[in-house]
């Protein structure tokens, strides 16, 4: 990954400094502090080159569309959330501030634009609670639930609460108390309840990420809300998304044997990006991670990795790092980050599904064929 100084970026863009800063604030160019001078910033070369190419003239629509799929311009309008000036906003409210006191139920009320807080109570529990049970619960509900088409929003909000209730029954202890308390009780770590509450709120929504886009595409067909959540779960399971915290395991093990500096240096010498550090949408660091890490005593090895990683790469820990640290701090199940992620993000998936239903349109991109053509004789 290459970085440019402000002068280099401006030379390639051919713009004024104000335009460069505006592109950073809008998430079009990723910036980070210059390790040699923290008063200055460096700018991601790939982002600068992409914007510079646009100034050379109007490009074919197929190229614009292709770039839009990979961290490009927004492809869908939404009033649900955005990342602006390093702030994650839920319908205009700072998610970090919301996480100080709110529960996932309160976040759902805000994100769903509901007049009442949804009821996620569930008296049943899976025989073997966990991610596998969550998939089974959503698959069964998706196969039997009503489609969204032609149904009043008030009825769909009832469906939404039922979907999260089913999901919570597959992951957490039964009950009517807040979901973070039910998770803590399920894992027999009551002292983890407040950090879990914060994590659930911070992870509830994050703009048009891969799993949210998958859920929104499903919702655009008129499928049940449970089907949209099932699509989100499928996308979330990938190592580049909801399972990213698992990539910390090897780094932690190596740091315990060699020390944080040596472990990170060895990883970087292999040519890979440091797992769970940095985020393209946050120029100054993932605010969600800093908030969650401040909610508990971070294990020493994670604290050392955080400091060494920022010193050696200029990137700060992201939310996946914080989830891995929380799991280690409280002795939670190894897949706790994915379970927390899934339960929290189901609220965001449903918010986008409800918004997509209101548009009444099908999301159906075109493909650019690159395969063989028939022979012309």
What's the gap between Cα 361 and its chain centre? 25
Domain, as residue range, for 39? 3-69
CATH number assigned to the domain comprising residue 221: 1.10.580
What's the rounded mean pLDDT across residues 165-169?
Answer: 97
How confident is residue 337, by pLDDT bands cut at 50, 70 and 90? very high
pLDDT of 28 reads: 77
Same structural domain, 361 and 279:
yes
How confident is residue 47, by pLDDT bands cut at 50, 70 and 90? confident
pLDDT of 39 reads: 74
CA-closest candidate to residue 341, choices 320, 321, 317: 320
What's the gap between Cα 207 and its chain centre? 8
Q: Is the pLDDT of residue 57 over 50?
A: no
Q: Is the pLDDT of residue 72 over 90?
A: no
Query: Residue 241 domain-assigned?
Result: yes
How confident is residue 346, by pLDDT bands cut at 50, 70 and 90? very high
Contact between residue 288 and residue 203 where contact means Cβ atoms under 8 Å apart: yes
Query: Residue 372 domain-assigned?
Result: no
List residues bridging with 81 in a β-sheet: 90
Same structural domain, 182 and 55:
no
The tens digit of pLDDT for each residue in 276-293 reads 998 888 888 999 999 999
Look up 159 and say whether it is catalytic: no
Percent of the chain exceeding pLDDT 70 equals 93
Among residues 241, 320, 335, 352, the one annotated as catalytic is: 320
User: In this predicted model, which residue has the larger pLDDT, 266 or 56?
Assistant: 266
How confident is residue 197, by pLDDT bands cut at 50, 70 and 90? very high
Query: Residue 376 domain-assigned?
Result: no
Q: Is the pLDDT of residue 148 over 80?
A: yes
pLDDT of 258 reads: 93
Same structural domain, 42 and 120:
no
What's the rounded mean pLDDT across residues 110-133?
Answer: 94
List residues bridging with 175 in a β-sheet: 122
pLDDT of 69 reads: 53
The tens digit of pLDDT for each residue in 297-336 reads 999 999 999 999 999 888 999 999 999 999 999 999 999 9
Same structural domain, 331 and 215:
yes
Q: How many CA atoms lie within 13 A of 333 on its CB side?
A: 17
What's the rounded mean pLDDT across residues 100-118?
Answer: 97
Q: Is the pLDDT of residue 70 over 60?
A: no
pLDDT of 303 reads: 97
Q: How many residues belong to the chain? A: 377
Q: Average per-residue pLDDT in the chain?
A: 90
Query: Residue 320 domain-assigned?
Result: yes
Same structural domain, 65 and 116:
no
The rounded distance, in Å, linking the Cα atoms of 250 and 256 is 10
pLDDT of 55 reads: 58
CB within 8 Å of 331: residues ≥ 6 apart: 189
Q: Which of 41, 69, 97 is the last residue of a domain?
A: 69
Same structural domain, 14 and 130:
no
pLDDT of 236 reads: 94
* Buried-exposed string 121-148: b where 16+ CB fall within 10 A, e elsewhere: ebeebbeebbbebbbebbeebbeebeeb
pLDDT of 215 reads: 97
Taking each helix axis from N to C end, the angle separating 300-313 and 260-269, rounded to the nearest 10 degrees, works out to: 50
Q: CA separation (Å) from 306 to 316, 319, 356, 359?
A: 7, 12, 39, 43
Query: Residue 327 domain-assigned?
Result: yes
pLDDT of 23 reads: 75
CB within 8 Å of 135: residues ≥ 6 apart: 230, 233
Q: Is the pLDDT of residue 368 over 90?
A: no
pLDDT of 51 reads: 79
Same structural domain, 19 and 135:
no
Same structural domain, 51 and 187:
no
Same structural domain, 167 and 286:
yes
Same structural domain, 132 and 61:
no
The rounded distance, in Å, linking the Cα atoms of 118 and 178 is 11
Query: Residue 96 domain-assigned?
Result: no
Residue that the structure tokens 């799993």 belong to: 211
CATH number assigned to the domain comprising residue 34: 1.10.1660
Q: Which of 17, 50, 69 is the last residue of a domain?
A: 69
Quick one: three-class SS letters along the chain? CCEECHHHHHHHHCCCHHHHHHHHHCCCCCEEEECCEEEEEEEEHHHHHHHHHHCCCCCCHHHHHHHHHCCCCCCCCCCCEEEECCEEEECCEEHHHHCCCCCHHHHHHHHCCCCCCCCCCECCCCCCCCHHHHHHHHHHHHHHCCCCCCCCHHHHHHHHHHHHHHHHHHHCCCECCCHHHHHHHHCCCHHHHHHHHHHHHHCCCCCCCHHHHHHHHHHHCCCCHHHHHHHHHHHHCCCCCCCHHHHHHHHHHHHHHHCHHHHHHHHHHCCCCCCCECCCCCCCCCHHHHHHHCCCCCCHHHHHHHHHHHHHHCCCECHHHHHHHHHHHHCCCCCHHHHHHHHHHHHHHHHHHHHHHHHCCCCCCCCCCCCCCCCCC
Q: Is the pLDDT of residue 271 over 80?
A: no
What's the rounded mean pLDDT across residues 62-67?
Answer: 49
Residue that the structure tokens 């996480």 belong to: 99
Least confident of 7-21, 123-137, 174-188: 7-21
CA-closest candidate to residue 201, choices 275, 110, 281, 127: 110
Same structural domain, 51 and 115:
no
What's the rounded mean pLDDT across residues 193-203?
Answer: 98
How confident is residue 61, by pLDDT bands cut at 50, 70 and 90? very low
Look up 320 and say whether it is catalytic: yes
CA-closest candidate to residue 29, choices 278, 318, 281: 281
Same structural domain, 158 and 279:
yes
User: In this predicted model, which residue has the larger pLDDT, 274 or 352?
Assistant: 352
pLDDT of 16 reads: 80
Q: Which of 20, 45, 69 is the last residue of a domain?
A: 69
Among residues 279, 286, 335, 352, the one annotated as catalytic is: 279
User: In this predicted model, which residue has the larger pLDDT, 156 or 64?
Assistant: 156
pLDDT of 124 reads: 84
**Count of structural domains within the chain:** 2
What's the rounded mean pLDDT across residues 194-221?
Answer: 96
Q: Is the pLDDT of residue 63 over 60?
A: no
The tens digit of pLDDT for each residue in 220-248 reads 999 999 999 999 999 999 888 888 888 89
How confident is residue 25, by pLDDT bands cut at 50, 70 and 90? low
Q: CA separation (Å) from 360 to 146, 222, 354, 356?
A: 17, 9, 10, 7
Query: Residue 90 domain-assigned?
Result: no
Query: Residue 119 domain-assigned?
Result: yes
Both tokens of 31, joined, read 């910036």
């Amino acid at each position: 990954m290459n970085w440019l100084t402000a002068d280099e970026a401006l030379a390639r863009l051919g713009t004024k400094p104000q335009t460069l800063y505006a592109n950073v604030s809008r998430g079009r160019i990723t910036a980070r502090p210059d390790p040699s001078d923290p008063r200055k910033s460096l700018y991601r070369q790939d982002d600068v080159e992409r914007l510079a190419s646009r100034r050379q003239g109007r490009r074919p629509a197929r190229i614009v569309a292709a770039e839009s799929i990979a961290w490009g311009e927004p492809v869908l309008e939404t009033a649900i959330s955005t990342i602006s000036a390093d702030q994650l906003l839920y319908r205009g409210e700072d998610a970090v501030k919301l996480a100080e006191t709110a529960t996932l139920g309160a976040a759902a009320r805000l994100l769903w634009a509901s007049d009442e807080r949804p009821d996620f109570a569930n008296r049943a529990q899976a025989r073997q609670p966990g991610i596998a049970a969550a998939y089974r619960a959503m698959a069964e509900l998706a196969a039997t639930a009503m489609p969204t088409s032609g149904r009043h929003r008030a009825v769909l909000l009832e469906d939404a609460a039922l979907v999260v209730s089913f999901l919570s029954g597959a992951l957490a202890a039964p009950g009517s108390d807040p979901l973070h308390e039910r998770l803590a009780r399920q894992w027999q770590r009551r002292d983890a309840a407040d950090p879990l509450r914060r994590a659930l709120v911070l992870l509830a929504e994050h703009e048009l990420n891969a799993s949210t886009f998958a859920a929104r595409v499903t919702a655009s067909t008129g499928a049940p809300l449970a089907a949209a959540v099932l699509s989100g779960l499928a996308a979330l399971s990938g190592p580049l998304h909801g399972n990213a915290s698992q990539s910390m395991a090897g780094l932690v093990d190596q740091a315990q044997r060699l020390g944080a500096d040596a472990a990170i240096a060895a990883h970087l010498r292999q040519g890979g990006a440091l797992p769970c550090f940095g985020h393209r949408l946050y120029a100054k660091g993932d605010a969600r991670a800093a908030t969650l890490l401040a909610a508990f005593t971070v294990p020493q090895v994670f604290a050392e990795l955080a400091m060494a990683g920022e010193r050696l790469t200029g990137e700060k820990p992201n939310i996946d790092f914080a989830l891995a640290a929380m799991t280690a701090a409280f002795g939670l199940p190894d897949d706790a980050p994915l379970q927390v992620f899934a339960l929290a993000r189901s609220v965001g998936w449903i918010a986008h599904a409800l918004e997509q239903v209101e548009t009444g349109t099908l999301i159906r991109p075109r493909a650019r064929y690159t395969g063989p053509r028939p022979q012309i004789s």
